[in-house]
Amino acid sequence: MFGKQLAITCLALCTAPLALAATIDFAEAAQHVGEEMTVTGKVSRVATIPSGMTFINLGGRDQAGSFTAVARPGTGDAESLKAFEGQVVEITGTIELYKDAPQIVLKSAGAIRVAGAAAPAGGADMEPAMAGPEIQTFSVELEKREASTAGESTGGVVPTEAKVAIALPKDFKPSADQRVLAVFPDFFSDADQEKLLAPYIQLARTQGWVVLTARGPILDLDLPLAWHTVMFQAAIRHLSAEYPGIGEWSFYLVGNADGASRASVSTGAMMKKDIEVKGMYLSSLKREGLTRSIETFGPSKLKLKKLKVFVSHGSDDSMASEADSMEQTEAIREAGIKDVRFEKHDGRGGVDAASLKKALDWFEEAE
């Protein structure tokens, strides 16, 4: 009990936010959607799922007026958040609805504290003392040749910059054999870059991988084939000033659903641009683009021979049927890729932590 209270006290005193927002009981949260509020109540349950997301419940899950605080990977460590269970807390942030239930997505570990705990002088923006991997976001202006290579969308959009997000592993020391998970987006929003990387960060950080994503101003399905490659190319160019050896890093393209399609269709172009693509992890794969990418860009057969592809499918996947996923996997094999694994896991579609672990281990074995 002493250890639990110590963890709560440390988190509250080191990272508590300034209570500037109006305070309401959690049962009233649904009446204040879209407003910045401090919600108070007793924590009934704290649960962390394999992706690293932690859910802090106020009230029973099926109880009218229940409320959830969501902590994404890196917001605070699971053990310290678990220490809030059974405590009366104050949670500050913007109230939103998820499946008709109110919630707040924590912007920092300091957005939750034991009720009545004093706020530090640094306020809500103070760096969390036990923060996880930091996600850095920035924009990179495209060079003229890059914009020309990306091409123009069917709606006439010509990209001028790439939006980039990167998460580095703990105690990062780059070397020539650094591995990178290049995440291709399956949704479009500046605010969702952290959400996009979240399923990969916890495991990648543990195994020493860099996680990187880059995208242009729109996210249509039928963009020019080189579009997404150019965004990553611009990100690599920008990062090379800080990490001169990035050109020798090994890239593994990953994506879920539409992101899986974008990853596969970009493989040939990335190889042609001398980006060292060594593998792909594709989940909820409904439409592969590797065949078309190979035909268009003609990467070397030697590079394709070394490519490893891991396709993951959930038994209750609502984004892609098992028949679709297996058919697309077979198409990848027919494109000349020998090292292809198709694995089915229990549960819904999306990025499955156990399958991702198998994939990363398999990728590492090859090097």
What are the extents of the domains in the chain?
2-114, 135-365
The position carrying tokens 């949670």 is 91
The percentage of residues in the chain with a pLDDT greater than 90, rounded to a whole number, is 50
What's the rounded Cα separation, in Å, for the pair 33 and 52? 26
Residue 268, H or E segment: helix 258-272
What's the rounded Cα separation, in Å, for the pair 216 and 142? 10
Report residue 9: phi and psi, to 5°.
-65, -45
Residue 208, CA atoms < 13 Å, CB-side half-sphere:
13
What's the rounded Cα separation, in Å, for the pair 282 and 183? 10
The percentage of residues in the chain with a pLDDT greater than 70, rounded to a whole number, is 84
Q: Are 133 and 205 in contact (CB under 8 A)?
A: yes
pLDDT in tens, 206-263: 899 999 999 999 888 789 999 999 999 999 999 998 888 898 999 999 999 999 999 9
What's the rounded Cα separation, in Å, for the pair 238 and 136? 13
Beta bridge partners, 279, equal 252, 308
pLDDT in tens, 312-343: 999 988 889 999 999 999 999 999 999 999 99
Distances (CA, A) of 295 to 73, 97, 225, 238, 268: 39, 45, 11, 29, 8
Q: Are 152 and 224 in contact (CB under 8 A)?
A: yes
**What ranges make up the beta strands (E) of 186-323?**
210-215, 250-256, 277-283, 308-314
What's the rounded Cα separation, in Å, for the pair 349 and 284? 6
pLDDT in tens, 191-203: 567 778 888 988 8
- Quote the DSSP letter at residue 309: E
pLDDT in tens, 272-287: 998 999 999 999 999 9
Residue 290 clears pLDDT 60, i.e. is over it? yes
Mean pLDDT of 52-81: 78
The pLDDT mean for the chain works out to: 84
What's the rounded Cα separation, in Å, for the pair 88 and 81? 13
Give the CATH architecture of domain 135-365: 3-Layer(aba) Sandwich (3.40)
Residue 135 clears pLDDT 80, i.e. is over it? yes
pTM greater than 0.85: no
Residue 130 clears pLDDT 90, i.e. is over it? no
Domain spanning 2-114: CATH 3.30.70.270: no
Q: Return the amino acid letter for 101.
A: A
Distances (CA, A) of 186 to 99, 153, 329: 20, 18, 19
